Each structure stands twice: as structure tokens, then as C-alpha cells.
């Protein structure tokens, strides 16, 4: 009997003795235990979860060679071969963090990015279109962001102590030589491209990628839309003209075309202007875009823009306003852009393109003709390689070819005089981005340029990194060297002049959730090799100018706290001086203001199917030079502060019909942007000054927009 009992005991206990116990601890790279990690023997029901300190223990009845799988959210799955023999196995498992570029840290120092798949959104096209006071102008909307400042007499982007020429625009990576339309002296110009063309906008206030060059202060990178999704016709009836557009879609391609006629003349006949117009501006613009999908991942894009604008006005003498001079202008502009992108494999992709810009101004001053023409060709190709989820490499090359010609009729010598130059520029660049973890990323690169106009070569390093200590907040820093050929009026005098140069140092902190953004950034810019000439003689040009800019930018956006309301607040402090051009000594440039403040408010009211918008902008006084004072007081006088409250409303009586109205400067403040003085003194020995003001206290705009399509809910709201 005892023998039989022993036999049954051994038989019953055999499964227990044949089990394999697996125990140990699951930790991260720093040695901290990971609680709740899932452990399982592949193709079995055996497993467990780790305890609070990361420890685990379980048994398995399986035998032989098997695979243990350990997984936890945010970490790579760990595969561990195990031999199950009945003997206990003790394991120490270290999980590697999974790099998630969507939720992880991102490079943010010096840039506002919108619409890119791997980045959070700051401004969408509809944000730009519906920002009151911007009148659907990209630069106008971006001027409500920190780092920019209102320079109302130009309408261009002035970024962190840089003038309007120091911001360069790119479309699908290709350069645009002149992104602004013509305007009368001391009146704001508008961007040539409407925001609805683009799916993403990356606006840098410094420290931008090594891929982009020839921009001293900022790069505005616009990424155009891909293939359209449906056929539609858009009609716009405007208080200043009309437009019609049509989009035709096929299986793998689409084509869009638009014709717009703008005539400001009837409007100016109703609203008094401070400008003495003979013939106010009128323009005809046509654009077309073709999109073609290639293979599974390729996309080919073509875009063309044609514009012609003309006007005629009288410039009145400052000393004797009864004396006037007639100025006539005809501007002809062409821009063509072709780009292609394709994934070569799962780790390689290529993109490239070709763009052509042509801009010609034909002017007459009291009938005396002058012509200025700039044409440029830009080609680029870029390769991108992902070694793994942690390391990405981008490299490529580009070639700029720019030709400039200017001619005028010399009435004294009774002959035409001409000047011209050609600037070929070859550059290569390389940049690596390394994601050490979801909390730390670094990007480093360099840009090489060879300018054949002045036979100069340069290498500019650029580096940026970011660290994310918490779930939402992150710190970022950036450094870079940037250079740009001086503007044409100086290069045509001295073709051997060196490019102007700037160094950017940037530190920021930002917190971004789904519907809130907070951002604070400080910076320092050091300028070298700026254009300098003595006194009033611009023919003795050197690169001896220098300067600096430093400041603080703050941005807050909230679309969550108040129902149906989206608003943002921005503030910028700027401290800058330059010793350049004909400045007698270092001084604050006339375009710079120390304090810039903006509030943008948008409220959708479902009951009346309307969206209301308000924008308030404030800028402290800007410096100017009064020649009646000594040069010791150069640029020490200040204009009054700038203040503007603008509003707009979009009413949708039907889903495909929009009635849109906007008004700038509701309160009618007489903003002064500076002063200009006579070149000669009056009989009392005084230089007479004249304020540079807005052309009119307000600008009113009314439009009716109709969309015809099979989908009756489609409208032009994002296009306004």
C-alpha cells in the first residue's frame, strides 16, 4: 500500500516539479523599475505583469526553446529567447524607449510651424484668412505673432531687428525672389500668394534649417496642397474687383485655375486718400496648379502665377507742396514652380524642384523712363534617409542663378544708361536629426555656399536641440550662422561686396496641448559685414557695418476655455542697434520698435451662422532722424505709438454662400510711421518735415463668395 501511495504522489506532483519559474525585474535605461509591463511566453497562456518596482515572477508548463515577450506602452517590445527545462530562470530586462516623433520632443527654437504631419499646429490657412486686419495676407497674419513688428508703410515681415529684405519666402522648398506685389511709396504691399494654396506654413524667427539659405533673419516656408479631392467652381464678387476659379479632379490628378481682376479705382473715388492718385492701382492675375500622383508614394506638382499691375500718382515736394512730380509704374511678374517627391524605399526618399522668378518694374518720372528687371532660376534636390527611428539624415544641393538689369534715360546726356550683374551661387547642405529619446533630440548641420559673383566661399554651421522634462513642456536652444547677398541697389554699385552675415542664439520654453499653446523665447543676434557707406554717397560701399538685436517673445493661444472662441496673445520686446548704411554711429534703426503687442479674437456664433473676428495691435514709437538736430541725436526722436483695432465678419446664409465684411482701424486712429524731410532748408534755414501716415483712416472690404459643387456644404471660408 505504501508503495502504491508513493507512486500516486509522484504522478500527481510531476507537473509541479516540471514547471519552470521565470522571475526578475523590468527596468528602463536609467535603472528605474517599470510597473505594469506585460510578460508572456509566445504562443501560450503563461505570463504576468510586473509589480510597482518592476519585479515579476510566474511559472510555465511549456518545455524546450521558447520566446519571452516583454512590452509596455512607450517602449520597444523586448524579445528574449528562453530554454524551459524546469530550472528557475532569473532575468533582468531593460526596455528601450520607443521614439514617437508625434508626441515626443520637437525642435522648436526659432520656428512657428503649422500643418506638417509631425508637428503641432500654430496657424492654419483659415487662421490666416480670418485674422481681422490681415485682409487674408500671409504677412499680415504673421505680423500678429511674436518676433515680428508692424512697419505699416511697407506691409512686409520685419523679424527681430531685421529689415523686410532679410525674410526669404520658399514654396515647396523653392525660392521666391520677390514675394510682394508693387505698392506706392510709403504704402503697404501685399503678398503675391494667397494662404489657401498651402497646407502648411513654417515661419522661422531665427535658427532655421541648413536647407534654407540667403535669408539673414527669417525663412517663410510654404508647403502647397496636394491633389484636390473634388470638382468645384468658385466665384467671388468683391468691392475691389472679381475672381473666378475652377478645379477639375481625376483619379490620380487635379488641375486648378484662377483669374482675378482687382481695380481699386472706384473704391478710392468713394474714400478720400492722402495719396494724390492720377490713376489708382489695377491688376490682373492668373494662376494655375497641376497635381499628379506618381506610383504609390510619389507626387508631382506644377504651379504658375502671372500678374500685371499699373498705377500713376503725383509726388508732392515737401518744401513746396504745390510742386508735384508724376510717377507711373507698370509691374510685370511671373513665377513658375515645379517639384517632385518620391519614397525610394522604406528608409530613403528624394525630393527636388525647379523654380523661375521674373519681376520687372517699368517706371516713368515726369515721362522719363526707367526699367528694373530681376530674373532668377533655382534648382534643388534633397535626399532623406532614416537609418532607424532614432537617426535621420537630410542632404542635398541647390543652384541659384540670378540676373539683374537696370536702365534709365539720362536727360542731361540724352542717352540710356544701364547697369547689370549676374549672380551664380552653388550650395550644398547636410543635416542630421538624432532622437536620443522621447525627451531629447538634437539636430546639427552645415551649409556650404560658393558665390561666383564675388568669388567667395563660406561654411555656416547650424545646431539646435530640445529637451522635454514633462508631458507637455519642453526647452529648446538653437545656434546658427546665416548670410545673404545685399539688396540689388548696393550690389549693382559694387559687385564685389561680401554677403551680410548674422549669428543667432535662441533659447525657448513651450507647452503645447491639443487646444492650448504657451511659448516664451529669448534671443540674441549679432550682425557683421553689413553695408556701410560714408555720408550720403552710396557709391563708396563697404562691408564695415555691424549691429545686434536681442529681446523676448511671449505667445499664448487658447481655443478651449471659452466655447466657440479661439484667441491668441503675443508680445515682443526688442533691443537693437546698427551702425550701417550712412549712420554716423550705432543707433536704433528707423524700422525698429521696442514693444509690439497683439490680441487676435475669433468667435463662431452658430445661431446666426457667423464668425466674428477682432484684432488689436499696439506698437511703441519708432525712432527717426530730424536733420534739424545734430548727428549726436541721430535717430533719437520718436513717433507716436501705433494702435489699430480691426474687425471682420463672415456670414453663411447658405453652406455654399459667404458674405464677408472687414474693416481695418475701426477707431480711425491717425497712425504715423515716421517722418521725411526736405533735402534743402527753407528761408529760415529749417529742414521741413512731413509725417508718413496711413493712406486712409480705414480700409473697408465687402465680398460675396459662391461655391458650385456636388457637395453643397463646401464653401470658400478657408480661402478668405
Q: What is the pTM of this model?
A: 0.82
Give yes or no: residues 414 and 358 share one domain.
Answer: yes
- Residue 191 binned pLDDT confidence (cut-offs 50, 70, 90): confident
- Grid coordinates standing for 475? 526647452
The cell numbers describing 630, all together, are 545734430
- Would you say residue 102 lies in a domain? no
Same domain, 23 and 122: no
Q: In whole angstroms, what is the distance from residue 52 CA to residue 227 CA?
A: 51
- Give yes or no for residue 592 having a pLDDT over 90: yes
pLDDT at 113: 52
In the prediction, which pLDDT does 271 show? 83
Taking alpha carbons only, the member of 656, 654, 576, 564 closest to residue 622 is: 576
552 with 539: CB under 8 angstroms?
A: no
**Phi then psi for 711, rounded to 5 degrees?**
-85, 105
Q: Which residues contact 412 (CB under 8 A, 6 or more apart)?
A: none
List, for residues 112-139, the tens digit of each pLDDT value: 554 333 333 345 656 666 677 767 677 8
Burial class (CB in 10 A: 0-12, 13-18, 19+), 139: buried
Q: What gap in Å lies between CA 556 and CA 146, rounded to an integer?
A: 10
> In the chain, what percentage of residues exceed pLDDT 90?
53
Name the average pLDDT for the chain.
87
Please tell me the distance from the alpha carbon of residue 336 to that of residue 303, in angstroms, as a whole number. 6
Domain that holds residue 278: 111-719
Least Cα distance to 216 among 615, 409, 499 occurs for 499
Q: Is residue 679 part of a domain?
A: yes
Q: For 295-367, list the strands marked E by DSSP.
A: 298-316, 324-343, 348-365
Same domain, 224 and 266: yes
- As a whole number of angstroms, the distance between CA 303 and CA 430 comes to 27
Cα–Cα dist 716/720, whole Å: 7
Any residues with CB less than 8 A from the CB of 563 and at least 6 apart, and which?
none
For the segment 84-95, the average pLDDT, to the nearest whole number, is: 90
**Percent of the chain residues topping a pLDDT of 70:** 90
Q: What mean pLDDT is predicted for residues 430-437?
A: 90
Q: Measure the CA dihedral 160/164/166/168, to 10°.
A: 110
Longest dimension (CA), the chain: 139
DSSP assignment of 483-495:
EEPPPHHHHTT-T
Is 456 within a domain?
A: yes
Q: What pLDDT score does 1 carry?
A: 44
Q: Are 378 and 319 within one domain?
A: yes
Which range, of 149-158, 324-333, 391-400, averages the lowest pLDDT? 149-158
What was the pLDDT predicted at 221?
85
Domain shared by 115 and 24, yes or no: no
Cβ atoms 678, 629 nearer than 8 A: no
**Could you tell me which residue, 710 or 40, shows the higher pLDDT?**
40
CA dist., res. 642 & res. 599, Å (int): 14
Could you tell me if residue 671 is inside a domain?
yes
pLDDT band at 539 (very low <50, low <70, confident <90, very high): confident
Same domain, 76 and 120: no
Contact, 691 vs 675, CB < 8 A?
yes
| CB environment 513-527: b (16+ within 10 A), e (fewer) | eeeebbbbbebbbeb
Quote the cell numbers at residue 618. 499696439
pLDDT in tens, 667-701: 999 999 999 999 999 999 999 999 999 988 998 98
CATH assignment at residue 89? 2.60.40.10
Q: Do 74 and 217 fall into the same domain?
A: no
Per-residue pLDDT at 6 exceeds 70:
no
pLDDT of residue 223: 82
User: What pLDDT score was predicted for residue 645?
Assistant: 96
pLDDT higher than 60, residue 353: yes
Same domain, 81 and 117: no
Q: What is the pLDDT of residue 293?
A: 93
Q: What is the DSSP string of 646-665?
A: EEEEEEEEETTEEEEEEES-
Task: Residue 641: name the closest of 663, 617, 665, 625 by CA.
Answer: 617
Is residue 105 included in any domain, yes or no? no
- CATH label of the domain that carries residue 586: 2.40.170.20
Which residues sit opposite 406 in a β-bridge? 372, 419
Confidence of residue 102 (pLDDT cuts 50, 70, 90): very low
The answer, yes or no, to whether residue 713 has pLDDT greater than 70, is: no
Mean pLDDT of 386-396: 91
Same domain, 145 and 15: no
- DSSP for 8-39 reads HHHHHHHHHHH-EEEEEEEE-TTS-B-TT-EE
Distance in angstroms between the alpha carbons of the first and the last residue of the chain: 97
Domain count along the chain: 2
In a domain, 147, yes or no: yes
Tell me if 658 sits within 8 A of 651, measured CB to CB. yes
Asked if the model's pLDDT at residue 302 lies above 80, the reply is yes
Residues 116, 74: one domain?
Answer: no
Which residue matches cell numbers 528694373? 372
- DSSP per-residue letters across 100-153: -TTTS----TTEEEES-TTS--S--HHHHHTSTTSTT-HHHHHTTSTTEE--TT
Cα–Cα distance, 490 to 503 (Å, whole number): 22
State the Cα–Cα distance between residues 342 and 99, nearest whole angstrom: 24
Pick from 148, 78, 193: nearest CA to 573? 148
Residue that is last in its domain, among 94, 124, 145: 94
Distances 453 to 112, 175, 354, 500, 501 between C-alpha atoms, Å: 34, 19, 21, 14, 17
Residue 718 pLDDT: 56
CB 172 within 8 A of CB 200: no
The cell 516656408 sits on which residue? 221
Residue written as grid cell 490680441? 599
Indicate if 295 and 201 belong to the same structural domain.
Answer: yes
Helix (H) or strand (E) holding 276: strand 276-294
| Any domain includes 101 | no
Residue 104 domain-assigned (yes or no): no
> Do 33 and 173 reside in the same domain of the chain?
no
Mean pLDDT of the region 537-562: 91
Amino acid at each position: 500500500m505504501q508503495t502504491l501511495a508513493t507512486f500516486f504522489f509522484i504522478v500527481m506532483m510531476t507537473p509541479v516539479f516540471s514547471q519552470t519559474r521565470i522571475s526578475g525585474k523590468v527596468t528602463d535605461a536609467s535603472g528605474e523599475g517599470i510597473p505594469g509591463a506585460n510578460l508572456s511566453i509566445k504562443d501560450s497562456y503563461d505570463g504576468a505583469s510586473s509589480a510597482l518596482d518592476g519585479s515579476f515572477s510566474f511559472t510555465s508548463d511549456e518545455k524546450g526553446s521558447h520566446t519571452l515577450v516583454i512590452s509596455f506602452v512607450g517602449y520597444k517590445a523586448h524579445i528574449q529567447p528562453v530554454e524551459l527545462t524546469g530550472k528557475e530562470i532569473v532575468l533582468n530586462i531593460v526596455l528601450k524607449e520607443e521614439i514617437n516623433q508625434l508626441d515626443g520632443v520637437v525642435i522648436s527654437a526659432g520656428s512657428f510651424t503649422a500643418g506638417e504631419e509631425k508637428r503641432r499646429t500654430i496657424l492654419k490657412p483659415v487662421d490666416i484668412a480670418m485674422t481681422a486686419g490681415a485682409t487674408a495676407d500671409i504677412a499680415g497674419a504673421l505680423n500678429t505673432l511674436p518676433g515680428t513688428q508692424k512697419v505699416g508703410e511697407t506691409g512686409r515681415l520685419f523679424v527681430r531687428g531685421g529689415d523686410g529684405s532679410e525674410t526669404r519666402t520658399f514654396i515647396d522648398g523653392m525660392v521666391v525672389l520677390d514675394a510682394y506685389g508693387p505698392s506706392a511709396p510709403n504704402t503697404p504691399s501685399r503678398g503675391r500668394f494667397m494662404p489657401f494654396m498651402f497646407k502648411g506654413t513654417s515661419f522661422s524667427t531665427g535658427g532655421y534649417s541648413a536647407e534654407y539659405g540667403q535669408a539673414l533673419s527669417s525663412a517663410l516656408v510654404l508647403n502647397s496642397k496636394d491633389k484636390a479631392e473634388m470638382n468645384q467652381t468658385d466665384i467671388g464678387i468683391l468691392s475691389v474687383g472679381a475672381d473666378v476659379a475652377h478645379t477639375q479632379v481625376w483619379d490620380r490628378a487635379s488641375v486648378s485655375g484662377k483669374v482675378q481682376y482687382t481695380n481699386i479705382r472706384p473704391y478710392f473715388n468713394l474714400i478720400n486718400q492722402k495719396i494724390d492718385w492720377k490713376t489708382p492701382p489695377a491688376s490682373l492675375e492668373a494662376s494655375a496648379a497641376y497635381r499628379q500622383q506618381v506610383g504609390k508614394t510619389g507626387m508631382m506638382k506644377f504651379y504658375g502665377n502671372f500678374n500685371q499691375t499699373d498705377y500713376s500718382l503725383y509726388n508732392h515736394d515737401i518744401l513746396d507742396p504745390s510742386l508735384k512730380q508724376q510717377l507711373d509704374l507698370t509691374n510685370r511678374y511671373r513665377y513658375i514652380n515645379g517639384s517632385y517627391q518620391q519614397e525610394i524605399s522604406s528608409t530613403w526618399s528624394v525630393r527636388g524642384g525647379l523654380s523661375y522668378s521674373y519681376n520687372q518694374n517699368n517706371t516713368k518720372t515726369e515721362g522719363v523712363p526707367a526699367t528694373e528687371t530681376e530674373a532668377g532660376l533655382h534648382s534643388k534636390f534633397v535626399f532623406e534617409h532614416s537609418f532607424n527611428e532614432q537617426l535621420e539624415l537630410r542632404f542635398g544641393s541647390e543652384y541659384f542663378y540670378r540676373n539683374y538689369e537696370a536702365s534709365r534715360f539720362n536727360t542731361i546726356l540724352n542717352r540710356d544708361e544701364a547697369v547689370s550683374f549676374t549672380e551664380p551661387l552653388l550650395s550644398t547642405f547636410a543635416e542630421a536629426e538624432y532622437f536620443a529619446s522621447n525627451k531629447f533630440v538634437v539636430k546639427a548641420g552645415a551649409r556650404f555656399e560658393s558665390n561666383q559673383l564675388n568669388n567667395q566661399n563660406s561654411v555656416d554651421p547650424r545646431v539646435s536641440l530640445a529637451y522635454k522634462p514633462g508631458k507637455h513642456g519642453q526647452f529648446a536652444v538653437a545656434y546658427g550662422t546665416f548670410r545673404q547677398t545685399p539688396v540689388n541697389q548696393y550690389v549693382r554699385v559694387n559687385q564685389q561686396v561680401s554677403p551680410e552675415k548674422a549669428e543667432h542664439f535662441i533659447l525657448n520654453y513651450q507647452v503645447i496641448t491639443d487646444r492650448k499653446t504657451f511659448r516664451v523665447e529669448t534671443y540674441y543676434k549679432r550682425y557683421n559685414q553689413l553695408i556701410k557707406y560714408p555720408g550720403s554717397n552710396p557709391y563708396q560701399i563697404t562691408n564695415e557695418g555691424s549691429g545686434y538685436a536681442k529681446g523676448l517673445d511671449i505667445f499664448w493661444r487658447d481655443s478651449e476655455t471659452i466655447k466657440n472662441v479661439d484667441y491668441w496673445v503675443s508680445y515682443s520686446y526688442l533691443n537693437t542697434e546698427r551702425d550701417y548704411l550712412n549712420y554716423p554711429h550705432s543707433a536704433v534703426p528707423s524700422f525698429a520698435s521696442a514693444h509690439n503687442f497683439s490680441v487676435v479674437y475669433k468667435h463662431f456664433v452658430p445661431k446666426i451662422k457667423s464668425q466674428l473676428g477682432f484684432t488689436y495691435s499696439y506698437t511703441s514709437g519708432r525712432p527717426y532722424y530730424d536733420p534739424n538736430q545734430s548727428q549726436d541725436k541721430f535717430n533719437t526722436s520718436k513717433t507716436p505709438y501705433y494702435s489699430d483695432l480691426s474687425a471682420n465678419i463672415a456670414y453663411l446664409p447658405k453652406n455654399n454662400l459667404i458674405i464677408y465684411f472687414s474693416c481695418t482701424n475701426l477707431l480711425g486712429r491717425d497712425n504715423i510711421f515716421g517722418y521725411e524731410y526736405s533735402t534743402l532748408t527753407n528761408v529760415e534755414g529749417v529742414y521741413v518735415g512731413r509725417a508718413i501716415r496711413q493712406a486712409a483712416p480705414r480700409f473697408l472690404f465687402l465680398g460675396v463668395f459662391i461655391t458650385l459643387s456636388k457637395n453643397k456644404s463646401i464653401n470658400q471660408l478657408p480661402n478668405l
